[in-house]
Structure 1
Amino acid sequence: MSAPDLTTTIKTLINQESLPDAYADTVKKTILPLAQHLHSLRQDRAGPIVIGIHGAQGTGKSTLTVFLRELLTKHYRIPTASFSLDDLYLTRAERERLAEDVHPLFITRGVPGTHDIALGQQVIDQLKAADSGTETPIPAFDKSRDDRSQQYQWPVFRGRAEVILVEGWCMGAVPAASDEELMEPVNELERSEDPEGTWRQYVNRCLKGDYSRFFSQVDSLIMLRAPSMECVLQWRTLQEHKLRERMSCAPKEGGARSGAAQPSRIMSDEEVVRFIMHYERITRASLEEMPARADCVINVGEDHSFGEPLIRQRQ
Structure 2
Amino acid sequence: MSAPEDWLAEFMAQERLPETFRQAFEEICEPLADRAIDWRADFGRTAMVGLCGAQGSGKSTVAAATARLLAERGFNVVAISLDDFYLGREARGWLAGKTHRLLQVRGPPGTHDVALACAVLDHLRRPGTTPLPAFDKATDERRPKSRWREVEGPVDMVILEGWCVGAVPEPPERLRAPLNALERRDDPSGAWRGYVNRQLGETYQALFGRLDRLVMLAAPGFEVVRGWRAEQEAKLRARTGAGMSDAQVGQFVQHYERLTRWILEEMPGRADWTIRLNADRTPRPAGPATPGS
1:140 has 2:117 as partner: no
Whether the 8 Å CA contact 1:52–1:172 is kept in 2: the answer is yes
Structure (1 or 2) with the larger CA radius of gyration: 1
Aligned residues: 291
* Aligned pairs (5 A) from 1:38-49: 38-49=36-47
RMSD: 1.9
SS in 2 for 1:129: coil
CA gap of 1:173–1:32, structure 2 versus 1, over 3 A, is: same
Change (3 A) 1:308 1:123: farther
1:288 aligned counterpart, secondary structure:
helix
Aligned 8 A contact 2:28 2:62 in 1? no
- Percent identity for Structure 1 against Structure 2: 41
CA distance in 1, matches of 2:286, 2:57: 14
Q: Does 1:219 align with 2:212?
A: yes
Aligned partner of 1:252 in structure 2 is none
Structure 1 residue ranges without an equivalent (≥5): 249-262
Q: Is the deviation greater in 302-311 or in 167-176? A: 302-311
1:200 aligns with 2:193: yes
CA contact (8 A) 1:53 1:223 kept: yes
Per the alignment, do residues 234 and 20 of structure 1 end up closer, same or farther by CA in structure 2, a change over 3 Å counting?
closer
- In structure 2, which of residues 57, 60, 64 is the aligned counterpart of residue 59 of structure 1? 57
Which among 26, 29, 35 is matched to residue 27 of structure 2?
Answer: 29
- Please report how far the alpha carbon of residue 138 of structure 1 lies from its aligned counterpart in structure 2 after TM superposition: 0.6
Q: CA deviation at 1:26?
A: 2.7
Shift in Å, 1:270? 1.8
CA distance in 2, matches of 1:16, 1:25: 18
- The residue that corresponds to 1:254 in the other structure is none
Cα pair 1:30 1:308 within 8 Å, conserved: no
Query: What residue is the counterpart of 2:149 in the other structure?
Result: 155
* Matched residue type, 1:135: T
Q: How does 1:219-238 map onto structure 2 within 5 Å?
A: 219-238=212-231
Distance across 2 between alignment mates of 1:303 and 1:297:
17
- Rounded to whole Å, the distance in 2 between the matches of 1:270 and 1:13 is 30
- TM-score w.r.t. the length of structure 1 is 0.88
Match status 1:104 vs 2:101: yes
Q: Aligned to 2:278, what secondary structure does the other structure show?
A: coil
TM-score, with structure 2 as normaliser: 0.94
Q: Give the aligned partner of residue 95 of structure 1.
A: 92
1:74 CA displacement:
1.7
